Amino acid sequence: MLTSVFYPEKEDWQKLVSRPHLDYGYLDALMKEIFTEVEAKGDEALCTYSQRFDGNVPAQFKVSDDEMLKSGDGLSASLKSAIDTAIGTITRFHTLKMVEDEVIETMPGVRCQRRRVPINRVGLYIPGGSAPLFSTVLMLAIPAKLAGCKEIILCSPPSADGVLPEVIRYAAKICGITQVFQIGGAQAIAAMAIGTASIPAVDKIYGPGNQFVTAAKVMASNYFCSIDMIAGPSELLVIADETAVPAFVASDLLSQAEHGSDSQVLLLTDSITMADSVKKEVIKQLMELPRAEIASKALTNSRIIILKDIETALEFSNNYSPEHLILAVENAKGWALKVMNAGSVFIGNYSPESAGDYASGTNHTLPTGGFARSSSGITTESFMKTITFQELTAEGLLSLAPTIEEMAKTEQLDGHKNAVALRVKYLNKILTKGS
């Protein structure tokens, strides 16, 4: 558990923390079946699969207006107040500054423009499981609303009692979700990608899930439905020097480890004393955790790595590209400027990962598996797209014409050339007449 590695050579870094390839190929046949059936039979297929995979079919998939209205009555005032606070911080962080549509004249008479437009119809998926992950409702619905999406639907599997946990319904309600459906799994994703009588088709699907949900999200692309990201197991990397507090670091490592037995947590430090103290603290704190079994399993995938200095630790971290990065070091803010690859960064001893998971305001839907090298967590822009526009005046076209014609000719696309040549001929005729 939580093996220590001392001063590894740079060429061994990757091996030390390698992640397994994703491979949903073994689910392809099943996914194809589900999507084909949902396309052919609609709601009937959803009932079949809900029965088969979840063992129950709700009386209706859509949560009724009445049920939505009552949602929250059974929740404590303190929980509602916590949700309010989190909505406040998340909203403040995700509010976009109004960006004016600026026209750029790329040449005289050639006016180009970009316009940001909300995605019309979006679908949010919230996994079920032991506890209701209502925080993810906030993390997806708030930016969707801020972006201006018109239709925001949510699918989540009902509990064993056949209904959706009240806190999920309540969070959906106060975040302004249009319709809530109690259905989970690959069939929920297929429904949102294709559309059925009960569940409308959407343009993009967001949210975490198990391997079935993830495989279904990948399949959704074949139906021209976009997805937010392909999510793997959750990760945390902590960089700590001797100024860190071992108990804090241990609690952060464990908070990530309790997510799932496939989570990976890493501690990088330049201090052997710190490495030892954190290890002792982890063992001590682990025993008190209800989810100790899950966390212990995750710790077997995890490492304490001792490196010669914090500079080297930063380099290691940028190579690894963790989903979450905690900087528990002196001058943490200065080191933060050197972070090139990470989903979200927590600066200093009083910024635990759980602050970002719930309420600092940043989004907790983040790239895993090294995808942080190339992609971002969810932002309000994730719920928008940009459309480009161009308007050429007669003069603009005449001055660009030789360029376009020359390039089209070289690419052997005469039709492209012709579309310009015709217009030039026409304009020259007018201009000659005019003179």
Which residues are tagged catalytic?
323-324
Q: Determine which residue in the list 252, 274, 299, 323 makes contact with a copy of itself, applying CB under 8 A.
A: 252
Structure letter (DSSP) for residue 10: G
Which residues ranging from 303 to 322 are in contact with a copy of itself (CB under 8 A)? none
Q: How many residues bind a copy of itself (CB under 8 A)?
A: 138
Burial class (CB in 10 A: 0-12, 13-18, 19+), 380: buried
Q: How far is the CB of 66 from a copy of itself (least distance, A)?
A: 24
Q: Determine which residue in the list 293, 418, 428, 429 makes contact with a copy of itself, applying CB under 8 A.
A: 418
Reading the block at residue 295, the tokens are 């966390």
Q: In angstroms, rounded to a whole number, what is the distance separating the alpha carbons of residues 347 and 334?
A: 10
Q: Determine which residue in the list 11, 374, 432, 433 makes contact with a copy of itself, applying CB under 8 A.
A: 374
Which residues ranging from 216 to 245 are in contact with a copy of itself (CB under 8 A)? 218, 221-226, 230, 232, 245
Reading the block at residue 118, the tokens are 């909300």
Cα 430 to chain centroid distance, Å, stands at 55
Reading the block at residue 23, the tokens are 């491979």
Toward a copy of itself, which CB reaches closer, 388 or 432? Answer: 388
Q: How far is the CB of 412 from a copy of itself (least distance, A)?
A: 4
Question: Which residues, including other chains, have CB under 8 Å from residue 282's CB and lie 6 or more apart?
Answer: 2, 250, 253, 254, 299
Q: Determine which residue in the list 280, 334, 389, 429 makes contact with a copy of itself, applying CB under 8 A.
A: 389
Q: In angstroms, rounded to a whole number, what is the distance separating the alpha carbons of residues 249 and 262?
A: 20
Convert 269-323 into a string of H (helix), E (strand) and C (coil): ECCHHHHHHHHHHHHHHHCCCCCHHHHHHHHHCCEEEECCCHHHHHHHHHHHCCC
Q: Determine which residue in the list 117, 272, 430, 431 makes contact with a copy of itself, applying CB under 8 A.
A: 117
**Which amino acid would we find at residue 199?**
I
Q: How far is the CB of 225 from a copy of itself (least distance, A)?
A: 7
Which residues ranging from 2 to 41 are in contact with a copy of itself (CB under 8 A)? 19, 21-25, 28, 32
Toward a copy of itself, which CB reaches closer, 33 or 67? Answer: 33
Burial class (CB in 10 A: 0-12, 13-18, 19+), 175: buried
Q: In angstroms, rounded to a whole number, what is the distance separating the alpha carbons of residues 46 and 25?
A: 22
Q: Does 344 bind a copy of itself (CB under 8 A)?
A: yes
Toward a copy of itself, which CB reaches closer, 269 or 365? Answer: 365
Toward a copy of itself, which CB reaches closer, 59 or 387? Answer: 387
Q: Does 154 bind a copy of itself (CB under 8 A)?
A: no
Toward a copy of itself, which CB reaches closer, 47 or 75? Answer: 75
Toward a copy of itself, which CB reaches closer, 5 or 401? Answer: 401
Burial code (b: 16+ CB inside 10 Å, e: under 16) for 420-431 equals beeebeeeeeee
Which residues ranging from 118 to 137 are in contact with a copy of itself (CB under 8 A)? 119-121, 130-135
What SS3 state is found at 250? helix
Q: According to DSSP H, which parts of 96-184 are helical?
A: 134-147, 166-174
Binding to a copy of itself by CB under 8 A, coded x per residue (else -) over 265-304, reads --------------------x--xxxx---x---------
Q: How far is the CB of 57 from a copy of itself (least distance, A)?
A: 26
Question: Would you tell me how many other CB atoms lie within 10 Å of the CB of residue 411?
Answer: 10
Evaluated on CA atoms 247, 251, 253, 258, the torsion sign reads positive
Toward a copy of itself, which CB reaches closer, 149 or 183? Answer: 149
Backbone φ and ψ for 118, nearest 5 degrees, come out as: -65, 150
Q: How far is the CB of 197 from a copy of itself (least distance, A)?
A: 14
Question: Which residues, including other chains, have CB under 8 Å from residue 134's CB and lie 6 or more apart?
Answer: 83, 126, 165, 167, 168, 170, 171
Q: Does 361 bind a copy of itself (CB under 8 A)?
A: yes
Which residues ranging from 77 to 116 are in contact with a copy of itself (CB under 8 A)? 78-79, 81-83, 85-86, 88-90, 92-93, 104, 106-107, 110, 112, 114
Q: How far is the CB of 401 from a copy of itself (least distance, A)?
A: 9
Q: Determine which residue in the list 46, 152, 175, 254 makes contact with a copy of itself, applying CB under 8 A.
A: 254
